Structure 1
Amino acid sequence: MGRIFISAAHGGKEAGASDPGAIAGGTTEAREMILLRDLIVTELRARSFEVLAVPDDLSAAQTIAWINSRARSTDVALEVHSDAASNPTVRGASVFYIANNDQRKTHAEMLLLGLLRRVPQLPNRGAKPDTNSGLGSLQFCRQTAIAALLFQVGFLSNPEDRALLQTRRRDFALGIVDGLTSWSRAIDPSPANAPEANYPAINININGQNYPEQGILINGNSYIPIDLVDRLRIDLSKAPEVRRITYRRVVYVKAIELREFQVAIGWDSASRTLKLRSILTVCTGNMDQIISHGNTSEVQLQIFLRNNYENALIQFPDVPKLYREEATIEGVNHDIAFCQMCLETGFLRFGGDVKPQQNNFAGLGAIGGGTEAASFGSARIGVRAHIQHLKAYASLEPLVQEEVDPRFRFVTRGIAPLVEQLAGRWSADLDYGKKITAMIRRLYESAGLL
């Protein structure tokens, strides 16, 4: 039977300072996850599993390196997190897995089922690909050499989830252990000392054409020959985090990592075919330039909203149309503005300080830095203010329409023409631009543009 690595999120050093993770209700994510991790380790050992607990003083990158230096192919790794949201009503558990891996999705569902059987009061937020995370990928799922999952066991910012975690911690641990034991046995059902199986071959299709060489499947992840990466004109020399392995004297690369190099990844289970598709040329130059044109239709924006929040268009049925119209008038990329809105409002769920009736879709502040965000008389004016604020950051050109953005004149014009440059300016979050870019990629995948 394979071994189980357990990591408690946060607690180590990040950028030279101790990282507590989320903070809420007089406690920290690091503290709560260490306590939970310790119970999980105790219970696993009581069930005769070999467990390796990751030291608590390691950074995220050091955690992955620690696991990788000790891991065997039949081992599994789990990191436990809690989440936090500006809206304190948001709650529930979810498990993230590496995208485009149906096997790992099944494993994630095993873990969720184990926990929810022990703690049925906890809402189920589902098994999710790591592309649905804020940054569009999760290092723990991508860079860990063995099968890895990231378990968000609840929202520390929600009083009900926090109370459940603190008063029924052993039930949480038992439920996670139930799922872990099922997962570990699924990864390594063979008796000890059995010879390692050969990696199964898979077919590869590029832009509709079959590729003559096959790839391989490792722990449910598709790997492609390095020669194909070169053919795609992708330079991995400066991407050491992209996982490579040598198998039968050929170097292979984990296919999902190519998504960050503007390659869409798909999988056809029936034919065991990995499908690769280059991003349409129309999209490549526009994903980070605020002053440019968008690529999606109103219907595609509507579908994206509904797929992420089924009630999104009940109160604001015209929001997709408004973003396309208002952005076009000012020369702003409506895809970027729309995705920023999705990030800021949680796909029009709102919550926290900004209320739906304020028609403030981008967290714009009021003049004078008041405690409340700015309010607008209609959805159209709120969208217009958002577009104007983006234009202020990205362009020196004058506004086409009458100024309605209350903070337009306070922006240093043209200081941030690229999405990445909004980080630390529009939001204090230094990953803010990356989160918008990840949302754009999700939108384009939903629309079939990737």
Structure 2
Amino acid sequence: MGRIFISAGHGGIEQGSRDPGAIAGGTTEAQEMILLRDLVVPELRSRGFEVLSVPDELSSRETINWINARARAGDVAVEIHAGASANPNVRGASVFYIATNAERKKDAELVLLALLRRLPQLPNQGAKPDTATGFGSLSFARDTILPSLQIEVGYLTNPEERFLIQNRRRDLALGIADGLAAWSRGSSGNGQTNGSDTTYASINIRINNQNYGEQGIIINGNAYIPVDLADRLGVDLTNAPNVRRVQYRGVVYVKAIELRDFNISVGWDASTRTVILRSILQICPGYLDRIMGHGNTSEVQLMMFLKANNENALAQFPDLPKLYREEAAIEGVNYDVAFCQAMVETNFLRFDSSLRPSQNNFGGLGDVAGSPDAASFPSARIGVRSQIQLLKGYASLEPLVLEVVAPRFRFVTRGIAPLVDQLSGRWSADLQYGTRVLAVIRRLYESANLL
């Protein structure tokens, strides 16, 4: 039976200072997760498991390196987090796994159900692929050699769940221990190690419906492909140090899911043991992230994507996809970009932040009248138009077609941000803002079979 690595999310040194994680109710995520971890570890040891607790002072990157340096076949790794939202009503527990890994999804479901059995008061937010996170990936799931999961035990920003985290800590620990024990016992032990005697199973590769002549391998349930294939797809990995490379029997392999960040869709056909790569759009540099241009999805595809991420989203704004396509076309803005930006700002029309549905403000636009609230608009169409106009202001020197309705349009330096990533630190103080928007665009194109 393998060992279990456990890390408490946050608490380490990031950029020269200690990272507290979420802060709410007079406590921090780091503090609460360390206390929880310190109950899980002795509980698992009392059941006969060998457990390695990751040192708290390590950064997130150092945590992954620490685990990888000690990894053995059969080991598993987990990091414990709490959720956070600007909306205190958001709540629920979830477990994240690396996307396209069916084996890891089952592990995530197993761990989550064990937790909820001990604490049924927690709403079940489900086992989720790491592509469903704000940045479109999780380093702990992607870069850890071992089979790994990231647990969110509840929302620290929700008063009821904060009470459970602080006052039902023992039950949380028992639930996590139950899930990790079951996962560790059932682990297949085919993990990548630092040794050279491991044998990996072969898999088939299909690119745009054509079988590829060379095979890939499976490591910890993840598909790895020859690095030469990345070159053929036009993906330059020379400046991607975080993409893990594995040398096996004289061939260098990379994890297939990493190509997703280079606009390659990655899927899996379990019946034929085939990793499926798709690059239908033949995207050239600047295509996906250019604000001015034409969208590629249909109104129905936008509606289906929105409903898949929030089944109640269209109840109040049934015409929103149509509005984005119409308003963006008038000004020459890529409506896919504008729509996905709105999904980031409103969390798929859940309005978890300070925005309210009645404001018709889907882009998080500020006011210029000194109001502490964000701008409000008389209709959904005008709200969409305002966002489109501001995007055009940032991305283009061309004049607006319609009368200005965006409150801050005159303050924007025209044409300073033609690419989505250049909105980071401008549209939002978040320096990863563009990355978050691009992550949603990729999810949209994958759902529409365009990527």
Structure 2 CA distance for aligned equivalents of residues 226 and 91 of structure 1:
41
Q: Which residue of 2 aligns with 1:225?
A: 226
What is the one-letter code of the residue matched to 2:176?
A: I
Matched letter for residue 345 of structure 2: E
Match of 1:79 in 2: 79
| Cα distance, 1:348–1:287 mapped onto 2, change above 3 Å | same
* Offset at residue 230 of structure 1 (A): 2.7
Instruction: Name stretches of at least 5 consecutive residues in structure 2 with no aligned partner.
Output: 191-195
Aligned to 1:306: 307
| Separation (CA, whole Å) in 1 of partners of 2:307 and 2:377 | 24
What are the Cα deviations for residues 144-203 of structure 1, in whole angstroms up to 9, with x where unaligned?
01111111111111111111111100100100110001111111479xxxx987322111
Equivalence map 1:144-293=2 (5 Å): 144-188=144-188, 198-281=199-282, 285-293=286-294
Measured at CA, do residues 268 and 145 of structure 1 come closer, stay the same or move farther in structure 2, by a change above 3 Å?
A: same
Question: Which AA in structure 1 matches 2:117?
Answer: R
Q: Distance in 2 between matches of 1:83 and 1:326?
A: 35
Q: Deviations over 1:366-395 (max 9, x none)?
A: 113421111111110110011111111111
1:117 matched to 2:132? The reply is no
Relative to structure 1, is the Cα distance of residues 188 and 210 closer, same or farther in structure 2, using a 3 angstrom cutoff?
Answer: closer
* Distance change (3 Å), C-alpha of 1:412 and 1:158: same
Q: What is the rounded CA distance, in whole Å, between the counterparts of 1:284 and 1:98 in structure 2?
A: 26
**SS state at 2:425 partner:** coil
Contact 2:93/2:124, CA 8 A, preserved across alignment: yes
AA aligned to 2:267 is: G
Give the TM-score normalised by structure 2: 0.96
Task: Please name the residue that 1:134 is paired with.
Answer: 134
Quickly say closer, same or farther: Cα 1:345–1:283, change in 2 above 3 A.
Answer: farther
After superposition, the C-alpha distances for 1:112-133 in whole angstroms (9 at most, x for unaligned) are 0110000000001001111111
TM-score, structure 1 length as denominator? Answer: 0.96
Judge conservation of contact 2:92–2:155 (CA < 8 Å) in 1: yes
Cα contact 1:2–1:75 (8 A) shared by 2: yes
CA deviation vs aligned residue, 1:85-116 (integer Å, no higher than 9, x gap)? 11111100111100000000000001101100
Determine the C-alpha separation between the residues in 1 that align with 2:284 and 2:384. Answer: 23
RMSD of Structure 2 on Structure 1 (CA): 1.5
Q: Structure 1, unaligned stretches of length 5 or more?
A: none
Contact 1:147 1:219 in 2 (8 A): yes
- Indicate how the Cα distance of structure 1 residues 38 and 75 shifts in structure 2: closer, same or farther if over 3 A, else same: same
Between the aligned partners of 1:197 and 1:260, the Cα distance in structure 2 is 29
Residue 339 of structure 1 corresponds to which residue in structure 2?
Answer: 340
Distance 1:197 1:253 in 2: 17
The alignment status of 1:101 with 2:96, answered yes or no, reads no
Write the distance in 2 (CA, Å) between the matches of 1:407 and 1:80: 41
For the residue of structure 1 that corresponds to 2:314, the secondary structure is: helix
Aligned residues of 1:286 and 1:294 also touching (Cα < 8 A): no
1:157 and 1:382 map into 2 onto residues whose CA distance is: 29
Report SS of the residue matched to 2:385: helix
How far apart in 2 are the matches of 1:49 and 1:351?
A: 40
- Distance in 2, matches of 1:423 and 1:284, equals 19
Q: Contact 1:4–1:52 (CA<8 Å) still a contact in 2?
A: yes
> Which residue pairs with 2:356 in the alignment?
355
CA contact (8 A) 1:262 1:284 kept: no
Q: What displacement does 1:282 show?
A: 6.0
430 and 282 in structure 1: CA distance in 2 versus 1, 3 angstrom threshold? closer
Aligned residues: 446
The residue aligned with 1:48 is: 48
